[in-house]
Amino acid sequence: MIDLTPTNIQHKHSTRNICLRNSLKITEQKNQQVVTRAEANNDYRVVVFGAGGVGKSSLVLRFIKGTFRESYIPTIEDTYRQVISCNKTICTLQITDTTGSHQFPAMQRLSITKGHAFILVYSVCSKQSLEELKPIWNLIKELKGQDIVNIPVMLVGNKCDESAELRNVTEEEGKEQARLWNISFMETSAKTNHNVTELFQELLNLEKTRTVSLQLDTKTKKKQKKEKKNKETNGAIAENGEGDGGGSSSAKEKCLIM
């Protein structure tokens, strides 16, 4: 027989609430571990937000691969990586291209929690796409708290190559919105490659806690060239069967040393 006395019901609710709080606490700890692990690996995470169809993926693909696609393919979440210089050492720039849909709020919050810098993209042909950035900006401020003043954020008006007849957001309106949010502003075109590299370099220039650059320093470049040359040499040795003993085992040993 089920005991429905007030005391027993209250006890069950209390137990359930404790379990829920513990579950949320464990989730938060896991999220924090993800962030800490990323920082320990010297990764620098840039998160790109914006409505569907504004050209987020096109901007990222143009920057990473130098390509542009005309067709629109909806994204859930993709992460791209690029080697950059961070405090004069090599680190990985991780660019997360988020979904333009609002169907995944948990993913959105996690991306913000892990992010070191943010790009907020709208289309100059759509005022609605600029409006849709406002709740995202508010969420970034909420989750980052007082640290927001030290976090690089850029408002980006994409598709600036479109004709004046198709424009619905002027450059001045974009600048004014960025001024109200106290963040940086730039117009880009993924199609013509206008300001794409400049966008990411400017974003990294805004980083205040470390020196981050798309350009590797001279020592790093020399080191990479030397490693590349050694790999090519070892590859040729392995292919030709040259080296001590006249077999491929020697080449494999050299590869292991590398």
17: its two tokens: 């609430």
Look at 119-123, 146-150, 187-191, 211-215 and tell me which has the smallest mean pLDDT: 211-215
My answer on whether 239 and 146 are in the same domain is no
Q: What is the distance between the alpha carbons of residues 222 and 80, in angstroms, rounded to a whole number?
A: 25
Per the CB < 8 A criterion, the answer to whether 75 and 99 are in contact is: yes
Q: Is 43 helix (H, G, I), strand (E, B) or coil?
A: strand
pLDDT, residue 164, reads 94
My answer on whether 161 and 53 are in the same domain is yes
- Beta bridge partner(s), residue 213: 85
Q: Is 63 helix (H, G, I), strand (E, B) or coil?
A: helix
Q: What is the distance between the alpha carbons of residues 214 and 192, in angstroms, rounded to a whole number?
A: 20
My answer on whether 9 and 108 are in the same domain is no
Of the candidates 40, 166, 155, 50, the one whose C-alpha atom is nearest the C-alpha of residue 111 is 50
Q: What is the distance between the alpha carbons of residues 251 and 97, in angstroms, rounded to a whole number?
A: 40
My answer on whether 57 and 108 are in the same domain is yes
22-66 pLDDT, tens digit each: 554 444 454 444 444 444 457 899 999 999 999 999 999 999 999
My answer on whether 24 and 14 are in the same domain is yes
My answer on whether 161 and 245 are in the same domain is no
- Total number of domains constituting the chain: 3
Domain boundary among 213, 228, 244: 213
My answer on whether 61 and 151 are in the same domain is yes
My answer on whether 100 and 63 are in the same domain is yes
Per the CB < 8 A criterion, the answer to whether 107 and 77 are in contact is: yes
My answer on whether 119 and 173 are in the same domain is yes
DSSP assignment letter at 216: P
My answer on whether 181 and 231 are in the same domain is no
Read off the CATH number of the domain in which 51 is found.
3.40.50.300
Q: Write phi, then psi, for 85 (nearest 5 degrees).
A: -100, 130
Domain range holding 8? 1-40
pTM for the full predicted model? 0.68
Identity of the amino acid at 61: L
My answer on whether 68 and 157 are in the same domain is yes
115-154 pLDDT, tens digit each: 999 999 999 999 999 999 999 999 999 999 999 999 999 9
Look at 57-61, 188-192, 238-242 and tell me which has the smallest mean pLDDT: 238-242
My answer on whether 99 and 22 are in the same domain is no
